[in-house]
């Protein structure tokens, strides 16, 4: 089942009754709305005048619904997740924490290879075939000691958008603002899946900055980035104004959890595919598998 994503950008009062999310608009003459909580995967709260009851927060967390809040720049800045995301959480933590350095290096090698392969496939789909990316995807070594991930990313973005002076930079010119927003949503999807698989999102296989509470999310989301890039590319090609992240643009980007991807030979919504990825990652930590399942860009 595809979980729904709700976005609230105006003053709203959110509560719960009969296992439903109840939506009231105190400043607008709109009818009260109700949505089954079990249908929700993500709730994005942008307006600072949104009020939620504690009873609703409890039910959302119990349903493993990711509650995302935004900052003054309207970018996602926090994620609420349950303390207990899996019945075997304690033993799963132990297997994750006990993972050997060689295993982590191998897992990062798989991750970088999958990311570069998907970047190459995206450019090829756009008629911008790159032999370099395909070659680099086959040259990634254990732990990516030659830093192919960064080299490929720089080349990929130099050739992706037909925009003079564009480079990938969080504070750079549009569509960097769209990419920032899309990647933040993708990061929340990854963190939600990691917690649901009974692992710690702060303990990565490659990313390990002590100030980063979502290091593992930053790892496993890498091969999924080209799906965000493809969505942003389509928005850019539509010719709309990119200077401001309007509600319409955010609505397009909030489609990310439901995007169709191919994983293990089957079509799946991206958020479901991410759960398959994190479950396969735990299998690697446990020792029952040596391969992470990542989507293949088509």
Please report, in range form, the residues annotated as the binding site for Mn(2+). 149, 207, 222
H or E, element range at 108? helix 101-125
Task: Select from 63, 137, 176 the least CA-distant residue to 297.
Answer: 137
Strands of the sheet containing 266-269, edge to edge, are 266-269, 260-263, 295-296
Q: Is 98 exposed, middle or buried (0-12, 13-18, 19+ CB in 10 A)?
A: exposed
CA separation, residue 73 to residues 22, 48, 86, 171, 189 (Å): 27, 12, 34, 12, 21
- Binding-site members are 149, 207, 222
- The sign one gets for the Cα dihedral 159, 165, 169, 175 is negative
Sole residue written with tokens 């720049």 = 73
DSSP notation for 41-82: EEEEE--TT-EE-HHHHHHHHHTTPEEEEE-TTS-EEEEE--
Hey, what are 232's tokens? 């942003």
């Amino acid at each position: 089942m595809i979980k729904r994503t709700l976005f609230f950008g105006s003053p709203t009062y959110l509560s719960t009754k009969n296992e439903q999310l109840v939506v009231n608009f105190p400043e607008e003459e709109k009818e009260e709305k109700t949505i089954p909580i079990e249908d929700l995967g993500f709730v994005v709260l942008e307006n600072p005048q949104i009020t939620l009851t504690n009873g609703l927060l409890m039910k959302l967390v119990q349903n493993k619904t990711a509650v995302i809040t935004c900052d003054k720049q309207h970018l996602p800045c926090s994620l609420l997740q349950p303390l207990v995301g899996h019945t075997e959480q304690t033993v799963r933590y132990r297997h994750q924490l006990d993972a050997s350095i060689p295993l982590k290096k191998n897992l990062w090698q798989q991750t970088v290879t999958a990311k570069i392969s998907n970047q190459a496939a995206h450019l090829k789909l756009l008629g911008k075939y790159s032999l370099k990316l395909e070659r680099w995807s086959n040259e990634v070594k254990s732990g990516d000691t030659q830093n192919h991930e960064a080299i490929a990313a720089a080349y990929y973005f130099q050739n992706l958008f037909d925009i003079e002076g564009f480079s990938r930079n969080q504070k750079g010119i549009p569509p960097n603002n769209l990419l920032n927003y899309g990647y933040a949503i993708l990061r929340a999807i990854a963190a939600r899946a990691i917690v649901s698989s009974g692992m710690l999102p702060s303990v990565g296989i490659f990313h390990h900055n002590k100030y980063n509470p979502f290091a593992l999310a930053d790892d496993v989301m890498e091969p999924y980035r080209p799906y965000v890039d493809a969505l942003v590319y389509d928005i850019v090609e539509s010719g709309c104004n990119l200077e401001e992240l309007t509600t319409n643009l955010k609505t397009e980007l909030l489609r990310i959890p439901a995007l169709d991807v191919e994983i293990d030979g089957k079509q799946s919504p991206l958020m479901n595919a991410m759960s398959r990825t994190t479950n396969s990652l735990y299998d690697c930590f446990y020792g029952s598998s040596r391969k992470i399942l990542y989507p293949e860009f088509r």
